[in-house]
Each structure stands twice: as C-alpha cells, then as structure tokens.
Amino acid sequence: MRALVYLLTFAAVIGLGFWAYKENYATQQALKDVSRLNSEIADLREALSIQRAEWAYLNRPDRLRELSTINFDRLRLLPMEPEQFGLASEVAYPAPVVSLPDVNAPVDISGEQEQNP
Amino acid sequence: MTRTPLRPLARILSARAAGENPDSIERENLRARHEVMREKSRKRSEGRLLILGLSFFMAFTVVGARMGLLAASEPMEPRSAAPGAAILAQRADITDRNGRVMATNLVTHALYAQPKDMVDPERVARELAVIFPDLKEEDLHRRLTDGRSFLWIKKKLSPEQMQKVHEIGDPGLLFGPREMRLYPNGRLAAHVLGGASFGTEGVNSAEVIGTAGLEKFLDDRLRDPAQTAEPLQLSLDLTLQSAVTEVLDTGMKMMNAKGAAAVLMDVRTGEILSLVSLPDFDPNDRPNPLVKGDPGDSPLFNRAVQGVYELGSTFKIFAVAQALELGLVKPDTLVDANAPMVWGKFRIKEFRNHNYGPYLSVADVIAKSSNVGTAHVALMVGGLKQQAFLKTLGFFEPTPIEMVEAKSSRPLVQKNWSDIVTITVSYGHGLSASPMHLAAAYSAIANGGVAVPPTLLRRKTVPEGTRVMSERVARQAVDMLAGVVEHGTASYAKLEGYAIAGKTGTADKPKPTGGYYKDKVINTFASMFPADNPRYVLIVTLDEPVDTSGSEPRRTAGYTAVPVAAEVVRRVAPLLGIRPKIELPPANALTAVVHN
C-alpha cells in the first residue's frame, strides 16, 4: 500500500514537472506572440498616422481649390454664393406623365377614309 | 531495544542481602535512563536547529541574490502587461472644429555620425554634400575628422534622403528615430498654430515642443501622456479659414496693403471661427525672427493678436452705447457737432476738415463718423465712467485666447486719463488695441450686451458671459451700425441678400519718432451679420492700404477695408448656413425649375 502511495506521488511529481515545463514554454511563446503583435500594432498605427497625414495633406483646401479650377470644364464648381440658395416652392413637382398614342395601332398613310354621307 | 528494568530483581535481592537500600538502585537506573533520553533529544534538537539554520540561510540567500540581481540588471517592463497603445504619438494631434487634421506627427529619422567607426570620412563628406545641398563638403570633412566621437548631421530626413544615405554604406553613419510635427495645411492658420521644434534630443528619441502660438500655450496639454490619444479640437473651421484667407489675400493685393488681418467670431459662444494674419509663413519650415528692423514686418508677426493699433472710428460706438446705457442720449438726440472743436490747446477736426454740424443726431454721428459729435458724447459720459466701461469690454487687459502671443500684447493705454484723452479715445486714438480686442468688444454688442470671452478651442458648454449693457441699448447700437452701411461711410458693404452692420475706422499710423504719418493709415472695418439678429462678428484690418482705382488715391476704410469685408461676408455667410434674404418673385409655372 505504502509503496503504491510512493509510486503515485512520484508519478505525480514527474507529471507536474512535465506540465510545468510545457506551460513555461507555452507562456514564453505567448509572450513572444504578444510582443510581435504589439510591434505589428505599432507599425500599423504608424502607417495609419502617415495615411491620415497624407489624407489631410491631399485634402488641404488650397489643393482642392486648385484642382477644382483645373477641372472646371468637367466639374463646373464655384464657391458657394448667396444666389445658390433656393426656396422649397421653387422646386417643381414632377411633370405630369404625358400619355403617348398607341404606336402599335395601324395608321392610314395614304387615301382618304370613306366618309359616310 | 532492550529496556533495562528499574528494579532488577537479582540486584535488589543481593542489595537487600548486603543491607543496602534497594531504592538507590532504582534511582541509579532511572538516572541512566534519563541520561540516554537526554542524549537522544539533544541530538534531535541539534539536527532540527541545523536544518532550521540551513533553511533560513538559504531563504536569505535567495532573497539577497534576487535583490542583488534586481539592483544590478536593467529595468524591464513586464512583457505580459505591455500596453498596446501609447506606442506612437508623444504629442496630441490638433484638429479643426469638424475634426479635420491641422497638426499631426510623422515618423522620420535623424542622421548622426560616429566618426570613430567611419571608414572613409572624405568620401562620406563628399557624398553627404551631394545629398544635402545646404551642407558644405569642407565643413563636414573638418567636423568628421577633428577627433570628436559624435555629431548630429541632420535633424529630419525624408525617406528618399535616408535611402541615399544608406547607399553611402558607411558604418559610421547612423539613424535615430524621430517624431516630427507636420502641418498638412501649410500656411493656413499658421499664426494660430505657431510651430514646434525639438527639445532635448537623444539618439533614440527627441522631445517635440511648441515654439509659438497655440502649440506653445497648450504645450502641457498636448504633451500630457494621458491625453495624447485624444486630439485637441479647435474652434477654427478649415473651410472658413481658407475662404477668409483667400479673399483677404486678394483684397490685400488689390488695396496695395502691406499687411492684413481678419477675425471671424461666433458671438453666442465666443468661439473664433477664423483668424487670419497676412503675410503668413509655413509652420513646417518656420522662418527665423528678424534680427533687425521692425518685428512687425516679419511674417511671423500676428497682426490680429499681437499687433496693437489705434483702431480709429470703430471705437465711436462704445462712447455712444455707453451714453445710451446711462440714459444721457437717445438715438435721435441732437448733439453739438460743430467742427473744429477747440479744447484747451487742441483742435478736434473732422475727416478732411468737413463740418457735419452744427447739430447731428446721435445715430448720424455714427453714420457720418463725426469726431466732434463723439467727443461731445464722451464728455457727457466722463473719463472715469468711460475707462470703467472700456475695462469691462476688455480693452485694458490682454485677450484671454490660447496663444502665447496674446499674453504679451497688452493694449497701450494712457496713464493720465485727462479730458483730452477721453475725447481722443472716444474716436479711437490714444488707445491701441489688437483686432482681437475689437472683435471681443463688438461681440458683446452683437450678443445683446453679453460679453462671452473669446476662445480658440471648441466649446461644448458656453460660459455665462458678463452683461456690459442692456439688451435694448445693444439693439439700438446694432441699428446705428446698420445705418452706417445703409447710408453712412460703409455703403460698399451693402450686399444683396445679407444685411451687415458695422463701423469703419481709419487711423493714421504713428511714427516711431512721434507724431503721425500723413499717408500711412490702418483701416479697419468692424462688422456683424446678419444685421437683424447678429450671429457673427467680422473684423478686417488692412495695414497701409491705398485704393488707386479712382482719380486720386483713397485711403479711408470705406474704400479699402469695407469692400474686402463685404466680399468675405458674401463668401463666408453661405458657408455658415445663413439663408440670404432675397426678394424672389413667387414661383409659378415659368420660374419653377422643371427636371426632366
């Protein structure tokens, strides 16, 4: 009985040792992953901030104004002016639908229709 | 183990036979037994003590060794608890009121050299001089070979330059990571932002500190590690700022002025929507301050905030508003306006020696901009009360806006406030203030008599302002200012759609040697719109303008600052979402737009 207890205890110690060994390496691997992810996040943040700066640079009002001047032919953009304000009453209702004659019906091209006296 | 009995029968019997006391045998045996027991327990105790001592020794050894290790090793952050954020951005971004970026950080590199590791200093100097044209080859060669072990070569590199330096391939050339401040909008709002440069520099990083403007004033907020992730939101609107800058720049050139400034302010909240000073500069490449001459001529000089000028007739409304407030006059009260007015040894004249007199109504004093009429109104009020009123409007203190330049621009006020000072200040001479001061004071009138302190930061809650005049008086003052545009000196500000109220001001420039220039003026137009319910105040100031479109050069504000301000309003009001009041014929079948 006692021998069995000893054996089991010994086996437990060996097992725990093995488990601890594995956990240790798993933790180290996890930490490595974390630091790799952190540096990746840092890189992405850096890229994001550069892109944000570039977005702001490309959308600076001076440049947009120049671009709209260069492309005036196509865009016809002008600075906003008081005359561009309108009233709701100025907006027309949709035009009434005009009913077209039935184009499939046969039409006389020549001759006169017989008229009843 | 055999146990010796305490009273062995054989010995007892023989002792009894010999007539001895058998108890002594028992005592003797007991003693021997105790001796053995004592010996045993002593050994056990000694063993325990040894183990205890050993374990204490080991425990202290472990503690000591750990302490020694901790003290001797480099400190390291616990890796598992490493924060994900706060890796970048040691300085918070600055955005406009709509979140458009005005200042941000960019990662770049600095170039330094360790000449001890350098293989061929001569070639390095030659190639560096090719990459950086501002560096001289001989200079570099001397610095690389004079025995020093470390030197900075460039503080900021572009990626292309960095690649070229890489291609030199010398082990003595090294890069240090840097964060630099970038202003993507270039010159726009340069004076507000100011600029930034490096503080303490190390190989691995460098401090970025504000050198002027808002960047310097709010340096602590921008560098606070707890708030770097949150951008600082300004009250400025980039679109408005750009439109105002464009119009003002054109106006400045058309009016042949050497400088110009404009302030656009929301009167309800005190937020400054646009602040322009021309000529301006690029904060990404901030020029050096002038070493000689007038610092006011430098593009770094902020005319809207730093420049204190005699703002001329724009001050007249304050004297009149105060007289209305005190119940001394009504808008239609007639006051003496007979020019020239003689006060002691001084003669108060009107512009071009006009005489608007003998009597003018108070409303016409403002519309025609009569110096003499205003002087009489101011004398009714009295110097002490005038001072107190101007103080409540903020003309005796620097403006509270968030720029370092604002703190240093204290208005120039006469120490001895005699009657002649009362007279001259009433029409804007003898007291110098910045256009920003004027904007704050006009905002109080436009906001129904409540002064809200101006700010450059976006306000979430509006602070309770101080009432400086009654709502009725403020309304009367606005009506008088509307009269100036309607039939007074600012008729060029009559716009289709938007009613403006405002006052012109033309002040002669003081000579540095004393006295005034004959042909150098500062023209100001202080205005508010829409006139029936003012929401915004716009101040436009032109430095030494002259309108040469007529037969003779004209230098009054009505011909220079007013048309520029009117154009600003025409451009800016639609952007602010103000609906123009245009009389439109009722829509009918002909005028209605039909979309097919």
Question: Which 3-state string (H, E, C) describes B27-76?
Answer: HHHHHHHHHHHHHHHHHHHHHHHHHHHHHHHHHHHHHHHHHHHHHHCCCC
Q: What are phi and psi of A42, to 5 degrees?
A: -60, -45
Q: Tell me the per-residue pLDDT of B40-69, one tens digit each, with 9 for 90 and over.
A: 999 999 999 999 999 999 999 999 999 999
Query: A8 pLDDT exceeds 70?
Result: yes
Q: Judge: A82–B593 Cβ closer than 8 Å, yes or no.
A: no
Cβ contacts of B593 on chain A, cutoff 8 Å: 90-92
In chain B, the residue whose alpha carbon lies closest to the alpha carbon of A41 is B84
**Model confidence over B563-588: pLDDT tens digits?**
999 999 999 998 998 888 766 555 55
Select from 3.40.710.10, 2.20.28.10, 3.40.50.300, 3.20.20.70 the CATH code of B240-289+302-575. Answer: 3.40.710.10
Best A80, A81, A91, A93 member to test B by mutation, with max B CBs in 10 Å, is A80
**Residue B120: count of CB within 10 angstroms of its CB:** 13
Summarize pLDDT for B95-138 with one digit per residue, the tens: 999 989 999 888 888 899 888 888 888 888 888 888 888 888 88
Check CB contact of A96 with chain B, cutoff 8 Å. Answer: no
A60 contact residues in B (CB cutoff 8 A) = 184-186, 188
Interchain proximity B574–A84, CB inside 8 Å: yes
CA distance B75 to chain A (A): 17
Nearest CA in chain A to B239: A61
Amino acid at B132: F
Is pLDDT of B594 > 50? no
Per residue in B354-369, is it b (16+ CB within 10 Å) or e — as a string?
eebbeebbbbbbbbbb
CATH numeric code, B94-233: 3.90.1310.10
Cβ-Cβ contacts under 8 Å, B105 against chain A:
49
Amino acid B329: pLDDT: 87
Rounded mean pLDDT, B560-564: 90
Q: Which of A23, A57, A65, A78 to probe by mutation at the B interface, max B CB count within 10 Å? A: A57
Q: Which of A49, A77, A93 should be substituted to probe chain B, the one whose Cβ sees the most B Cβ atoms within 10 Å?
A: A49
Token pair 């256009």: residue: B435
Pair B100, B189: CB distance under 8 Å: no
**pLDDT of B80 over the 60 cut:** no
The minimal CB distance from A82 to the residues B186, B242, B580 is found for B580
Domain boundary assignment for chain B: 94-233, 240-289+302-575
Residues of chain A with C-beta less than 8 angstroms from the C-beta of B586: 89
- Position B86 scores a pLDDT of 44
Our CA-based measurement puts residue A77 at a distance from the nearest CA of chain B, in whole angstroms, of 14
pLDDT at A28: 93
Contacts of B497 in chain A (CB under 8 A): 82-83, 85
- Alpha-helical (H) ranges within B454-548 are 471-487
Once rounded to an integer, what is the mean pLDDT over residues A77-104? 79
CA–CA gap between residue B437 and residue B592 (Å, rounded): 47
The nearest CA of chain A is from the CA of B307 a distance in Å of: 27
Instruction: Report the candidate in B76, B77, B80 with the shortest Cα–Cα distance to residue A26.
Output: B80
Q: What is the pLDDT of residue A22?
A: 96
Contacts of A51 in chain B (CB under 8 A): none
pLDDT at A70: 94
Please tell me the predicted confidence (pLDDT) of residue B588: 58
What does DSSP assign to residue B288?
Answer: P
Considering only the beta carbons, identify the residue of A34, A60, A81 that sits closest to B185: A60
Tens digit of each residue's pLDDT (9 = 90 or more) over B361-409 = 888 888 888 888 898 898 888 888 888 999 898 888 888 888 888 888 7
B537, pLDDT greater than 50:
yes
Are the Cβ atoms of B584 and A49 closer than 8 angstroms? no
- Residues B88, A49: C-beta atoms closer than 8 Å: yes
**pLDDT (tens digit, 9 = 90+) per residue, B461-494?**
888 888 999 999 999 999 989 988 888 888 888 8
Taking the CA atoms of residue B396, residue B402, residue B407 and residue B412 in that order, the dihedral angle to the nearest 10 degrees is -40
> B579: which chain A residues are within 8 Å (Cβ-Cβ)?
85
Inform me whether the C-beta atom of residue A56 falls under 8 Å from chain B C-beta atoms. Answer: yes
What is the ipTM metric for this complex? Answer: 0.72
Query: Where does residue B49 rank: exposed (0-12), middle (13-18), buried (19+ CB within 10 A)?
Result: exposed
Q: pLDDT by residue (tens digit) across B501-514? A: 999 988 888 887 87
Predicted local distance difference test score (pLDDT) of residue B294: 75
| pLDDT in the model for residue B526 | 92
Cβ within 8 Å, pair A49-B107 = yes
* A contacts of B498 (beta carbons < 8 Å): 82
Residues B365, B368: Cα–Cα separation, whole Å: 5
pLDDT in tens, B264-299: 999 999 999 999 998 899 988 888 887 777 777 788
Peptide bond into B340 cis (omega under 30): yes
Can B94-233 and B240-289+302-575 be said to share one CATH topology?
A: no
- B497–A65 CB contact, under 8 Å: no
Q: Is the pLDDT of residue B499 over 80?
A: yes
Residues of A in contact with B574 (CB under 8 A): 80-82, 84-85
